[in-house]
Structure 1
Amino acid sequence: MGCERSGKVERLQRYDVRRGESSISGLSSGAFMAVQVHVAHSASFSGAGIIAGGPYRCAESFRGAGFLAADAYTRSAMAIGMTPLIPQMAPDAARLAALATETAGRGGIDPLHHLAGQRLYIFTGSADTVVYSDVVARTRRFYELLGVRPGDILYRSDLAAGHAIITDNPEDSPLATNRPPYINDGGFMQSHDILRHIYGDLAPPTDGLAGRLVRFDQTEFFDGEPRASMSRFGYAYIPSAVCAGRAPARVHVVLHGCKQGYNYVNYVRGRPDIANQPPYGNRYVTTTGYNHIAESNDIIVLYPQAEGSDGGDMQNPDGCWDWWGYTSPDPYEPDYYSKRAIQIGAIHRMLERLGG
């Protein structure tokens, strides 16, 4: 199609992509989900960036929290996977590494040896009151137990940041803020640090964007299944040299956090509060810095979108990614963590379509 602009909804296209060099990052529910996708499809990736996210299957820390597994996982996600009362109550990294090994052994996820040699950026703000640093520390330990070398992990816990992705945009929230839209000004672009750590030396970000921001219909990737809790549209930034066919690309998948999807609305008593819809819009897509460093380094940035719902069988009012089982049709055996999971499958199919 070339690099010409288009305001239309498009079909996601295939490009010349370096297979096995894709990567993924996310914030909050997007970080928990990035871990799920990364571990499930580790053969497709070369690294991951995790901002305020816990380890794989950490929602299963305390099965006794409810009669139904789905209820137990929801309660565990909140009480253990996000805000454990004391550090000792944080997710057990060794147990979760064993769960991952067992899941790989039965073919539910890729063989875990693919994680060796991959590079990880893991961040927790010391002022984060939404996902405690004790949880994020277990994410680092989880990956180390599965063979990721400590030297390949950049772990940052030295910044008094709240629950947010960090930017150098002065109009964003103060650094220590713990409220929507969860994009805080800390004087640097965290997205740039993530990509530099994963890929090594990169060219400086460009000031202008000559590529294309594509809006595509993502319903084909989850067959329109309403339990997917995914929006109609997804987005992808295609660098100018890639869409013109002048350079091969790598793909980086970016997963927003709760309340950050393009069509997020607040629910009040089960009804969408359209009149008071927060103006978050596409800020995670357009202002977090990914596109500018992607343009100068031939990296396609894929932005899948989750959406909320409140009422019926599926409860996801904040538009979070599923890292505790709300999309699973079987409440006794939620399957949200394997290659068969609705959201994981949809995201990976998008990556495959791009060529990665």
Structure 2
Amino acid sequence: MMKSTPFLRHALCLSVLSALAVSVPVFGNDSSAQDALPSLTIDLKNVTVSGLSSGGYMATQFQLAHSDWVKGVGVIAGGPYFCAQGDITTALAQCVNKVEGEINLEALNEKAKQYETEGKIASLSNMKDAKVWLFHGTQDTRVIAPVSDLLFEQYKLWTDTQNITYINDKPMAHLFPTKNNGVNCMKSESPFIGNCDYDAAGAMLSHLVEDVSTPDESLSGQIHSIDQQKIAGGDAKTLASEGFVYVPESCAQGEPCRAHISFHGCNQYADAVGDAYTTQTGLNEWADDNNIVVLYPQTKKSLFMPLNPQGCWDWWGYASGDYANRDGAQINAVKQLLFSLNSAPSLNKSNGSNND
């Protein structure tokens, strides 16, 4: 496919982002605890990740990059790995609300193999035992079913089918389904969290993490803010100043805890929806009673190059040519954010030595 000119890329970028989500007003975010992050002991060898829409694409990218220690992934309304192939025109034509022509899944898988050979992602053999949870609502027109179906087909090539759950029969729009939070489940509108009488967070974590307990209605922990720019430096230049972390009281008191990374979708970054994504998905409730620290990294919008007016995660190459592998700026930044949470340097060093 012919590569687009800078002007055309600018226009097409706006179009593909609009396909994923609509513009939303800006709200302040004052929900984070401003006290220092408590000392944490986190198992960095059994991390799980998840995301919605652009965050779903990023969850897959991050998991493949580090599948030696990211053991499970949940994707709501995402498509196959490397679908955009580093080109916004391809992203627009095949990876969101339409599929023009045929997506060459074999070529996408070959790219993953190439990255594996080059040491840019972890060994694909790790994927065999990974836990995978996929979701696509039947009323989702922003990322259509054939796109999500191809992600399912892709994972089946890498992962034992008994480890994969694909929920695709729920009448829900393009949003994060919850039991009773958010907007009308049939409408894809800000903050893209749906009152659907369906606990997606619970269904997902119950599949990804062994022996989780159903939570009660109270929360013991707090949401803390972290300085993404200070922690990740140049790798965080397309991220917001602040990211957020939910820390259960048990973890704050020193109990060993697991980690989960949750990637928001387009127009779900904190400057757009306040604390909605960090408080309303249901992830914190499950994390609270199961010793799981939840990292909520944050993007930011940009009206200049690299263009990202709706604060999406990079799944087509706006931030880095290596956006889908370990050398990608955002993937590197989020890894640094995660490792910075752990107060046991020896664990960070031991784990990191397998991934650099």
Is TM more than 0.5 here? yes
Task: Report what 2:7 is aligned to.
Answer: none
Displacement after TM superposition at 1:49 (Å): 0.3
Q: Tell me the equivalent position of 1:331.
A: none
2 CA distance for matches of 1:85 and 1:350? 35
Give me the whole-angstrom Cα distance separating, in 2, the residues matched to 1:188 and 1:127. 15
**What CA distance in whole angstroms lies between the structure 1 residues aligned with 2:89 and 2:81?**
16
In 1, are the aligned partners of 2:235 and 2:332 still within 8 Å (CA)? no
Q: The residue matched to 2:132 in structure 1 has which SS?
A: strand
Q: 1:327 aligns with which of 319, 323, 348?
A: 319
Q: 2:243 aligns with which of 228, 234, 238?
A: 234
In the TM superposition, what is the alpha-carbon distance from 1:335 to its structure 2 partner? 1.9
Task: Give the Cα separation in 2 of the matches to 1:17 and 1:225.
Answer: 23
2:80 match: 55
* Equivalent residues in 2 for 1:72-221, closer than 5 Å: 73-85=87-99, 89=102, 91-146=103-158, 148-169=159-180, 172-221=182-231
Output the CA distance in 2 between the equivalents of 1:109 and 1:14. 30
The one-letter amino acid of 2:259's match is V
Alignment root-mean-square deviation, CA? 1.9
Structure 2 match to 1:257: 265
Q: TM-score, normalised by structure 1?
A: 0.83
The secondary structure found in structure 2 opposite 1:127 is coil
Q: 1:243 aligns with which of 228, 231, 252?
A: 252
Distance 1:138 1:14 in 2: 41
Instruction: Name the CA distance, whole Å, in 2 between partners of 1:78 and 1:9.
Output: 43
Which of 337, 342, 345 is the equivalent residue of 2:324?
337
- Tell me the distance in 2 between the aligned counterparts of 1:92 and 1:297: 40
Alpha-carbon contact 1:14-1:353 (below 8 Å) kept: no
Name the SS of the counterpart of 2:213 in structure 1. coil
Q: What is the alpha-carbon distance in structure 1 between the residues aligned to residue 179 and residue 114 of structure 2?
A: 42
- Which residue of 1 is the match for residue 34 of structure 2? 8
Q: Call closer, same or farther: CA 1:132–1:14 in 2, change over 3 Å.
A: farther
Unaligned runs of 5+ in 1: 61-69, 265-279, 329-333
Q: 2 CA distance for matches of 1:347 and 1:19?
A: 13
- How far apart are residue 174 of structure 1 and its match? 1.7
Cα gap change, 1:180 to 1:79, in 2 (>3 Å) = farther
Write the distance in 1 (CA, Å) between the matches of 2:156 and 2:200. 23
Q: What is the aligned counterpart of 2:298 among 297, 302, 305?
A: 305
**Equivalent in the alignment of 2:67:** 42
Q: Is there any run of 5+ residues in structure 2 with no aligned partner, and where? A: 1-30, 343-347, 349-356
Does the CA contact (< 8 Å) of 1:259 and 1:320 recur in 2? yes
- SS, match of residue 129 in structure 1: coil
Count matched residues. Answer: 313
List 4+ stretches of structure 1 deviating above 3 A. none
Query: Distance in 1 between the 2:203 and 2:241 partners?
Result: 30
What SS does the corresponding residue of 1:95 show, helix, strand or coil? helix
Please, what TM-score do these two structures have when normalized by structure 2? Answer: 0.83
Report if the CA contact (8 A) 2:47-2:260 is conserved: yes
Distance in 1 between residues matched to 2:306 and 2:296, nearest whole Å:
23
Deviations 1:106-165 (A, max 9, x none): 11111111111111110111111100110111111111212x011111101101111000
